[in-house]
Structure 1
Amino acid sequence: MLYQHGCQVCGVQLETRFGHYSEAAHIQGLGTPHDGPDRLSNMLCLCPNHHVQFDRLFLFIDEEWKVRRSRDGELISSLIRHPEHVIDEACVEYHRGLCGRSSYSLGSA
């Protein structure tokens, strides 16, 4: 496990009675209308809270791998990345577009 169940946004390892828990979040959704690939390069390891926020377009990842709030670009954190986890930048850009931030730059927030 690349992230040992640690959230790539906040780093939290949620503990349960049966061990740590995390969720695999697709960056570009599967199926119609998104048609994202079901590959590790299209997934993030997130805690349940950040998974919901990511899926509901509250958060996006900018071009410098910073996690930001969609409504105003406020910095939340740097995305935690494992060197063996290659993330598909096209999927990240797709999600950014859904958040209305496809042309995001540090000077536009």
Structure 2
Amino acid sequence: MKPYSQAAHIRGLGSPHDGPDELPNLLCLCPNHHVLFDGLEIYIDVDDVVRRTHEGDSLGRLRRHADHRIDESYLQYHRTLCELSRLTKK
């Protein structure tokens, strides 16, 4: 089987998130991590460590490509959603 990846919007498109469909708002993820990211089960912390929302454990570091600038404000927005999810599921 060949490797397969998907473009995941960091700040979701449409209401209520109203994120833009632009490269700084995209991550390249495998399908499984895409589902976990959209479901607020994983997030990227301020040190580029991918973490589980509820357990807090690390899944590894985000690998970045030098030519792909990710807007930190979108990652912060996603982290906020994950924190709210974590607080409501206690």
Q: What is the TM-score normalised by the length of structure 2?
A: 0.88
Correspondence for 1:11: none
Percent sequence identity over aligned pairs: 56
Matched, 1:28 2:11: yes
- Aligned residues: CA RMSD: 1.3
The structure 1 segments of at least 4 consecutive aligned residues displaced by more than 4 Å after TM superposition are: none
Using the alignment, how far apart are the partners of 1:99 and 1:49 within structure 2?
17
Matched, 1:91 2:74: yes
Unmatched 5+ residue regions in structure 1? 1-13, 102-109
Larger Rg: 1
Matched, 1:38 2:29: no
Correspondence for 1:71: 54
Matched, 1:82 2:81: no
> What is the letter of the counterpart of residue 48 of structure 2?
W
Kindly provide the CA deviation profile for residues 87-106 of structure 1, in whole angstroms up to 9, marking residues without a partner as x: 010000000000007xxxxx
Using the alignment, how far apart are the partners of 1:48 and 1:21 within structure 2?
8
> What is the letter of the counterpart of residue 81 of structure 2?
L
> What is the letter of the counterpart of residue 48 of structure 1?
P
Using the alignment, how far apart are the partners of 1:49 and 1:61 within structure 2?
15
Kindly provide the CA deviation profile for residues 48-75 of structure 1, in whole angstroms up to 9, marking residues without a partner as x: 0000000001100000111000002101
SS of the equivalent of 2:83 reads: coil
